[in-house]
Structure formats: structure tokens, C-alpha cells
Amino acid sequence: MDSKYIIGIIIAIIVVVGAYLVFAGGGSGENTTINIAGSTSVQPVAEALAEAYMQENPNVKINVQGGGTSVGIKSAQDGTAEIGTASSEPKANESQGLEQTEIAKDGIVVVVNKANSVSDLTVDQVKDIFSGKTTEWTQVPGASGGKINVFTREDGSGTRDGFTKIVMGKETNITADAVVQSSTEAIAQSVKGDPNGIGYISLAHYKPEDVKGLKIDGVAPSEAAILDGTYKISRPFIFLTKGAPTGEVKAFIDWVMSPEGQKIVQGEGAVPVKSTQ
């Protein structure tokens, strides 16, 4: 048999097998790893999105880590993560060179122990409590308990940054007597175990069976109230990339913003910013 004919057959087989591997692998014959790091509030949402995407795209591995919004910004800037996550908008000096994609909105829920009889506070009352101006529950109409124990997040937390911007303002600091916790879950567990405790957590992590979420100025935290702006303490969930995303990173982010991805966002307790239909 002519050697050129045999070589032609071999080349044809290679092309056919290669095409099969590309289509069977979801569009790429190579395995791809995407590292995501940042906000602990965004982390569970990102984990759920990553799990669903990997099931549909077995050639893609997505690693998700926390660390806080400041870690997300730095990781995107220095390239140690393909996607950084933030739960507050980066400052101007932090966002240079970064592309921001808002994947969801989230409310910040002011929570107290379920034994506390208070159910509604104004923004000013919350500010007075977290600044240390109000130190006893007896000073708060409708509340029960003794000395107020304030729980807050650490510096660099997107949740703290959002809460500070919206509630405390530029001139007022959170009291130095506040107990600092390193995650939303730690705040929730601290308030759950302290009858006099108060803190703030992500709506996406709020569990009414553990703590009581307060109305703010008469408005309860909910998806509808966050979208229409009547619930005042809310912030964005953001994906950060160094420059415009490309390749599999872009494919993943595009999928997150699709109805399928936004349904997962909604299922994790965050508020979708795109249609889920």
C-alpha cells in the first residue's frame, strides 16, 4: 500500500479523534483551572456556582477560597487568582486595571439574639449602638436585656466596609469595645449564643432559626426590598478580573450571568441582578 495513502489515513484518524475530544470536553481538549478568592460573604455563592459549572464542564476545575474582600482585590491584581471576589466596590486606587462584574446584590442584616424583644430599629439607632453611644438595651425602645455586646467584622471585610459606608458614615467609627470576628458565620454564631449580642451579617447567610433579623426604618430585609431600594443596608457581590476576562474565565462569568447561573445565585439567598427566566 502506498506510504502517502497510509499517512493520509493516519492524519484523518488523528483529526477525527481530536475533534471528538474537543466536543466531549465541553469545547476544550485541555483541562482548565480557575482560582477564585476573596469575600467570605460571596464565597458560598461562588462555591455553588463553581460546583454547578464543573458538573456541566468536567474539563474545568474551579477552586474557591475566602479571605475577605481585600484578599479578593489583591489576588485579582497580582494574578494569584483568575477571579477575585468583593462584597463592596473597590476604592478608586484599588480598582485600577480591574474589570468588575456585579453578579448579585446582597442585604446586610442587623441581627440580635432571638430572646431579644426588639424587632425594628432606625438607621440612626443602629449607628448609635455600633458607635458605642448607646450601651444598654434599656435605652432602646422595645428591646430587652442588659449591656449591649457589639460584634463586628475585621478591617478589610467587604461586609464591614458596606455597613460602615451606609450606616456609620465617614465621621463615625465602630466602637473599640466591639468584638471582632473573621466571618459572617462567626458573627451569627456569636449573636446566637449571646442574649445581649448584636451584629450584622449577609442576607445570603441569614438563618431565622438562629438569630433575629431586624427591620430597618420599618422595612424587613428581603429580595424585593433590596431590589426596589426600600431596604437601605445593601451592597453588591462582585467578580474582579485583571482586565477583561478571556477564555474559560469569560465563559464561566457569562454563564454566571445567564438565567441558569442567576437561579443558583437566588438559591443561595443572594439577589439576582439578571433575569432567571
| pLDDT, tens digit (0-9, with 9 covering 90-100), for 118-159 | 999 999 999 999 999 999 999 999 998 899 999 999 998 888
The Cα 200–Cα 210 span in angstroms is: 13
Nearest to 272 by CA among 39, 102, 66, 90: 102
For residue 165, with 0-12 CB atoms within 10 Å meaning exposed, 13-18 middle and 19 or more buried, which class applies? middle
CA-based R_g, the chain, Å: 23
For the record, the C-alpha cell of 50 comes out as 463553581
Average pLDDT over residues 246-275: 95
Residue 133: what residue type?
A: K
Kindly list the structural domains of the chain, giving each domain's residue range(s) and its CATH number in brackets, ordered by start.
3-105+235-272 (3.40.190.10), 107-234 (3.40.190.10)
* pLDDT score of 3: 56
Q: Which residue has the cell 484578599?
A: 71
Beta partners for 267? none
* pLDDT score of 21: 40
* pLDDT score of 6: 54
* pLDDT score of 22: 40
Contact criterion met (CB below 8 Å) for 86 and 67: no
| CA pseudo-torsion sign 79, 81, 85, 86 | negative
164's enclosing H/E stretch is none
* Choice among 19-23, 197-201, 207-211, 267-271 with the minimum mean pLDDT: 19-23
Average pLDDT over residues 246-262: 97
CA distances to 41, 57, 99 from 185, rounded to whole Å, are 9, 30, 29
pLDDT at 1 over 90: no
Backbone φ and ψ of 223, nearest 5°? -60, -45
Helices 43-56, 247-256: crossing angle, 10 deg rounding: 110
Helix (H, G, I), strand (E, B) or coil at 230: coil
* pLDDT score of 249: 97
| pLDDT, tens digit (0-9, with 9 covering 90-100), for 37-72 | 999 889 999 999 999 999 999 999 999 999 999 999
pLDDT at 16 over 50: no
The Cα 38–Cα 144 span in angstroms is: 37
pLDDT tier for residue 24 given thresholds of 50, 70 and 90:
very low
Helix (H, G, I), strand (E, B) or coil at 63: strand
| pLDDT, tens digit (0-9, with 9 covering 90-100), for 189-225 | 999 999 999 999 988 889 999 999 999 999 999 989 9
Contact criterion met (CB below 8 Å) for 174 and 199: no
| pLDDT, tens digit (0-9, with 9 covering 90-100), for 74-120 | 999 999 999 999 998 898 899 899 999 999 998 999 999 999 999 99
